[in-house]
Amino acid sequence: MSRSPEPMPDFKAPPVIEVVLGVQFDPLPNFLTAHYGLFWSHVKDEYPILEDRAPLTEIFEGVQGVEAKGEIELVDLPPLRRVFLIHSNKNYLIQLQPTRFHHNWRKSKEGDEYPHFNTAKERFMKYWETFRTFAINNELGKIQPNQYEATYVNHIVEADGAFPAAIEDYSPLFSWSSAYSTGFLPKSSNATMSLRFRLPEERGALHVTFKHGKRSVDNKDVLILELTARGRSQPEGSDLEEWFEVAHEWIVRGFTDLTSNTAHKRWERIQ
């Protein structure tokens, strides 16, 4: 996949609070509940905290812009859960279920600094290989990737009551000016926007959502800007690392395109 020759935008203080890299794969036929514990034993020294979560639905990014979810299968047993294996520092976690493997970095407290993409990707690849080896050794079935995913979640915090009106200070997509309207409507009390951009060479799409709400830790107004790249894999997952690199580029350049120069100054853009 082609990449831009221009330098990648960079920020000293980006508003990113979570980064997720993941692979979706065909269901492993021999994956049982007991295998969660067996895999945990391989990573427990670093990831000693275990949480149960509801499983994620299989989603497939359509070439023509249609997302198709996996078919519902009628079986006697409920679907296996998803588990979170959480690092002792609370910043990293592994998500595991019979059709997915994800690795997250997340900001758990003020002062946590985003370790940058290369570190996030290296950690993902390390534990992805650990899981692949585990699947082979325990005869879970062949891991056949069918889709990749990369997500960046950004929290833009403002004073109480600032959003959604303040969104126009952060993104050129929003403007609530009388120059563009008759002035009848007041400023909106809520705002949500979803956008989709195709990746090059029919390799998936970048999904962008803007929405505002309250931050749970302090009830401050927050604009949530989430960018997710999703695309089908090559056989055997042979293009995984390359796809992550392109997804990262589209997320970072897309984030920069969709945010304002004023916001870039606040986040200390250095490139």
147 exposed, middle or buried (CB, 10 Å; 0-12, 13-18, 19+)? buried
Contact 225, 157 (CB under 8 A): no
pTM here is 0.91
Spell out the domain ranges in the chain: 16-266
Lookup: tokens for 29 = 């036929």
Digit-coded pLDDT (tens) for 6-62: 899 999 999 999 999 999 999 999 999 999 999 999 999 999 999 999 999 999 997
Contact 1, 246 (CB under 8 A): yes
Partner residues linked to 208 by β-bridges: 195, 227
Any idea which residue has 């812009």 for tokens?
Answer: 65
Could you tell me which residues come within 8 angstroms of residue 243 by beta carbon, excluding any fewer than 6 positions away? 1, 148, 203, 231, 233
Which residue, 82, 89, 20, is CA-closest to 49?
A: 89
Average pLDDT, the chain: 90
Lookup: tokens for 81 = 């859960």
- Residue 178 pLDDT exceeds 60: no
For residue 200, is the peptide bond before it cis, meaning its omega torsion is within 30 degrees of 0? no
| CA 202 from centre of chain | 20
How would residue 68 be classed by pLDDT, with cut points 50, 70 and 90? low
